Amino acid sequence: MSYLQMENIIKRFPGVLANDNVSVDFNAGEIHAIVGENGAGKSTLMKILYGEYQPDSGRILMNGKELVLRSPRDAIKAGIGMVHQKFMLVASMKVYENIILGDEIAKRGVLNKKQSIETVRKISERYGLQVDVNKPISEISVGSQQRVEILKLLYRKANVLIFDEPTSVLTPSEVESLFKVFRNLKKDGKTVIFITHKLEEVMKTADRISVMKNGKLQGTVSKEDASIPFLTKLMVGGEIPKTTPRKNIEDKKPIVEFESVSYISADGVRRLNNMSFQIHSGEIFGIAGVEGNGQKELIEITIGIKRKFEGTIKFNGDLLNKLDILQRRKLGMAYISEDPFNIGTCLDANLIENLISTRYRDIPFSKGLLINWKRCEEFTESQIKTYGVKAASVKQRASTLSGGNLQKVVIARELSSDPIFVLAAHPTKGLDIKATSFVHDTLIRLRNSGKAILLISANLDELLTLSDRIGVLYRGKLTGVVAPPFDREQIGLMMLGKDVAK
C-alpha cells in the first residue's frame, strides 16, 4: 500500500474545473515530480494536500486512514509541509527564530534558546542543510533562505515535503545542493513531491513522475519508463515545434552602449556599479544572475523609468540619459516585460485597446484627434492571427486570457513597430512549454533579422540556449562577459561573485 493517496479529487472554481477526478499516490522514501502546463491543476492539487484548499469531493488517505485537512495547520499536524515559490520568512529575524516561530521550545513560558538552536543544528547536519542559524534572513542568500524553509518543515517533523518550482531562483550549484538534500530526505524515508516545468531536472531527480493536463491526471510513470519527448507529449498533447535555426551574422555593429553606468537608490545603496557593455545588431546579449542583484534597476534605467544615474547609455550613437519612455520608443526601443498581468497591459481593456496603446496616435490608427477604430480592429485581428493568440474576439478583455496568450499580445504590440532594440525581461517566467517555445522562437527570429536584444532572465537554461554572449550580474556589478562555448559551472560561480571569467 502507498504511504499517501489522493483519491478522486474534484475541485471547482468559478468557471473552472481545476482538478477533475484526480487519483494519485505517493510512496515513503520517494522523490515524486508533478509536471504539466500552466493551468493543468498541479498547484491546486498540492494546495489541497497542504490544506490550503478543500476538495469539493474525494479523499486523502495516509497509511490507509482518511485525513481531513481544513487548513495548513491540520496538514502540518499530519506531517505534511510545503515550501512555496515565495518564501514565508521574516527578514529582520534570525534564521533559528524563523525556524522555531510558533513552535518554540520553552520551559515555564521562557524560550529555551540553547536547546532550540541545538535541535535546529542536529536537523541541519542530518540532511545537509548548512546555514548560519544566528544570521538575520536579510543577510543570507536565496538558496540559504530555501534551506531555512525546509528546516522549518523538518523541525515540525514533516514526513511529506511539497516544493513548488523549487529551482526557479537558484544558481546551478544551489540546484545541485538542493537535489542532494532531496536524496538525503528520500534515504531517511521522507516523501518529496515537487512541481516543476523543467523536465531535465525531473529525469535527473525523480523516481516517479505524474503528468497533469486540463485538470486531469494523464498518468504516473517511473523515471525508467519516461523520456523528455514522452513527457512533453503527455503534457501538451503533441510535439513542440522546433526553434528557428540561428543564422551566422557577420556585420554586427553596436546598437546599445552602456558606459560606466551606476545607480544609487533612495536608501543610499549602490544597486548598479560601474557597468560597461555593448549590445550588437544580430545579437542576443543575456544577463545572468540570482534575482535581486540589480536586474530590476537595469531594466528601469534601460527603458527610461529611472533617469537619474551615473554614466551614459547610447542608442545608435544618441545619448539616452535624459529621454523619457516615449522618446526612447520612438528611437526604436521595445520592451517585453516579465509579468503581463501586472506590467505592460491594461487588464480591463480589450485586445484592440491593448494592441494600439503605444501607437494610437500614429497613422493609420488615427487622423488628428479621431481614432480609426475600424483600422485598429483590422490590425488587432491580423496580429492575433500572426501570433496565434487564443481569444474569442478582439473585444475580449485582456484579463480573461492565459499568461501565455497575454504575453503573445505584448509581443505582438511591441514588435509591430519594427523596433531596432528589444529588452526582454524574464519573458517566459510562469509560462508553460508551448508558450515558452513560442517566445524563444520569436527572439531568435528577431536576432536573425538583425535586431539587438537584451535578455534578462533568472533561468540559466534559457540564457544558455538563446544568448550569443552572457554578462553575469552580482550585487549590481558585471563579474564578467562570456562567449560560447558556455561553461555552466563557470557561470554559476560568477553568479555567486567569483571572478572566474576566461
Cα dist from 299 to 140, 338, 434, whole Å? 24, 11, 26
DSSP state of 340: T
pLDDT tens-digit map of 200-210:
999 999 999 99
**501, pLDDT greater than 50:** no
Q: What distance lies between CA 284 and its chain's CA centroid?
A: 20
Residue range 468-478: mean pLDDT, rounded: 94
Task: Assess whether the region 4-236 and the region 254-332+419-495 belong to the same CATH fold.
Answer: yes
**169, pLDDT greater than 80:** no
**405, pLDDT greater than 70:** yes
Cα dist from 272 to 125, 308, 338, 351, 494, whole Å? 37, 12, 20, 36, 16
Reported as a pLDDT band with limits 50, 70 and 90, residue 404 is: confident
Quick one: three-class SS letters along 62-120? ECCEEECCCCHHHHHHCCEEEECCCCCCCCCCEHHHHHHCCCCCEECCEECHHHHHHHH
pLDDT tens-digit map of 34-77:
998 877 889 899 999 999 999 999 999 999 999 999 999 999 99
Q: What angle do CA 292, 297, 300 make, to 5 degrees?
A: 135
* Interatomic CA distance for residues 363 and 474, integer angstroms: 44
* Interatomic CA distance for residues 139 and 20, integer angstroms: 43
Range 254-332+419-495 has CATH code 3.40.50.300: yes
DSSP state of 246: P
CATH class entry, domain 4-236: alpha beta
Q: What percent of the chain has pLDDT over 90?
A: 60
DSSP state of 167: T
pLDDT tens-digit map of 285-317:
999 998 889 999 999 999 999 999 999 999 999
Q: Are strands 65-67 and 16-26 parallel, antiparallel or unpaired?
A: unpaired
Nearest to 179 by CA among 155, 146, 157: 146
* Interatomic CA distance for residues 355 and 385, integer angstroms: 13
**What pLDDT score was predicted for residue 467?**
96
**What pLDDT score was predicted for residue 244?**
81
Mean pLDDT of the chain: 90
- Amino acid 330 reads K
Give pairs for 103-107: CB < 8 Å, separation 24+.
103/155, 103/156
pLDDT tens-digit map of 371-390:
888 888 999 999 988 888 88
* Interatomic CA distance for residues 5 and 2, integer angstroms: 7
Output 211 or 241, whichever has higher pLDDT.
Answer: 211
User: How many residues comprise the chain?
Assistant: 502
> How many other β-carbons are positioned within 10 Å of the β-carbon of residue 1?
8
Domain range summary for the chain, segments of one domain joined by +? 4-236, 254-332+419-495
